Structure 1
Amino acid sequence: MKNISKVAVLGGGGRTGNYLVNQLLKKGFSAKLLLRNPEKFEIKNSKIEIIKGDALDFESIKVLLEDCDAVVSTIGQRKDEPLVASAVTKNVLKAMKEYSINRYVLLAGLNIDTPFDKKSSKTIMATDWMKVNFPIIQEDRQKAYTLLEESDVNWTQVRVPFIEFSNDSSEIAVDVEDCLGDKISAFDIAVFMTKEMVESNYSRQSPFISAV
């Protein structure tokens, strides 16, 4: 696999995304970010390149991915805004193909279902809550998973429970069948995603990660 040095980042302006950008920089990567509001972004570093644009716009995604070796995303659904999960996934996969980029690591909730799951009653309850309360968002996120499955890229979809926005670090449980814990810190998500981007231990899989 091609060595990764420059990473395209989606969602880098969000709360979890900030942790991921800092972790990428800490590990020596250059980060190219797509931001709708660059003036609000507070991390300053010479290894950051910022593109102003929207992930729902394919041309913005093309500009973002140019000259990058991998793509990472913590992009989430914002209230009262257009659905993002499947549309952004479609844009990213199309641009990856154009630029021959193969590595894509993205963040998702534990509510995504895969054919390999053996979810506990607690995880099923959380999944069903999303399906009942946010059926359109849930359906869109599930569609994004289908797009990944149908692609031929080396993707990893990291599924997480409740996120605590802190630098606390815990022992992490990783499981491809069920979420074994109730929470995880944004710091630990960033560490896992950065490491997984390079190592591809869960290629074309959707591991659950949580604090033990």
Structure 2
Amino acid sequence: MKKLQKIAVIGGGGRTGQYLVNQLIEKGYSLKLLLRHPERFTIQSPQIEIVHGDALNPEAVRALLEGCDAVLSTVGQRQGEPLVASQASVNILQAIGDSPARFVLLAGLNVDTPSDRKSEETAKATEWMRANFPAIHNDRQKSYSILAESNAEWIMVRVPYIEFNGVSGEIKVNATDSPGAKIDAADIAAFMIRQLTDDTWLRKAPFISN
């Protein structure tokens, strides 16, 4: 893989996304951030270029990815707003086209894949999400299906309950079941950034936890 110069980030204004942005800056990357409300964004750096727009807008996503070598997404569902996961994935894949740009995205442990062997605890969490938030669950599942059917270089990172202590710890990774019940946002960011240049989980959806 060629040396990565500029990374597109979707969801960088969110709680997990801000950890991602700060760690990318520390590693020296140039960034393009898609922000719906740039006036609320507080991280300041000459390495950041802001694109004002929404992940649901194909034109905004296309403008974001122009000149970028990869895209990282921590975008989550917004309460009371249109479903975002599957449409954002469609827009990103269309913008990537035939380029080798890698797409790394964050998802919950409720997403199912054919190779899963979920424990009783993980299965219960999945069923809870399906029962209480069926539309959101189905949309995120649809996002996985869209990725699985594509030819893109994607990695879906599945996580349990997110803590925001900013304290890095051991990251456990498992292909078929969540290895723990929680993970810190700082570790999510670190793992996602590693996937930019690591092919271990290419076109897969690993679980991670502390």
TM-score, structure 1 normalization: 0.97
| Aligned positions of 1:49-88 closer than 5 A | 49-88=49-88
Report the 3-state secondary structure (helix = DSSP H, G, I; strand = E; otherwise coil) of the residue aligned with 1:117: coil
Q: How does 1:9-48 map to 2 (within 5 A)?
A: 9-48=9-48
The answer as to whether partners of 1:62 and 1:95 remain within 8 angstroms in 2 is: yes
SS of the residue aligned with 2:12? Answer: coil
Kept in 1, the 8 Å contact 2:68–2:101? The answer is: no
Partner of 2:93: 93
Instruction: Tell me whether 1:129 sits opposite 2:128 in the alignment.
Output: yes
Task: Give distance in 1, aligned partners of 2:75 and 2:143.
Answer: 12
| Unaligned runs of at least 5 residues, structure 2 | none
Partner of 1:170: 169
SS in 2 for 1:137: helix
What displacement does 1:181 show?
0.5
2:178 partner SS: coil
Percent identical pairs in the alignment equals 56
In structure 2, distance between residues paired with 1:106 and 1:197: 11
Tell me how far apart the structure 2 counterparts of residues 200 and 31 of structure 1 sit (CA, whole Å). 22
Q: How many residues align?
A: 210
Report the Cα distance in structure 1 between the residues aligned to 2:111 and 2:184, rounded to whole angstroms: 20
**Residue 7 of structure 2: aligned partner:** 7
Say whether the 8 Å CA contact 1:178–1:208 is kept in structure 2. yes
Asked if 1 retains the 8 angstrom alpha-carbon contact of 2:159 and 2:178, the reply is yes
1:5 deviates by 1.2
Secondary structure of the 1:209 match is: strand
SS in 1 for 2:183: strand
Give the deviation of 1:102 after TM superposition: 2.7
After superposition, give the CA deviation of every residue in 1:181-204 in whole Å (9 maximum; x if it has no partner). 010000000011001112122000
AA in 2 matched with 1:66: E
Find runs of 4+ consecutive structure 1 residues off by over 4 angstroms: none
* Contact preservation (8 Å) 1:73, 1:105: yes
Give the aligned residue type for 2:165. Answer: S
Gapped runs of 5+ residues in structure 1?
none
Mapped partners of 1:71, 1:151: distance in 2? 16
2:34–2:64 Cα contact (<8 Å) kept = yes
Contact 1:68 1:101 in 2 (8 A): no
Partners in 2 of 1:39 and 1:101 — Cα distance? 32
Give the letter for the 1:42 counterpart.
Answer: T
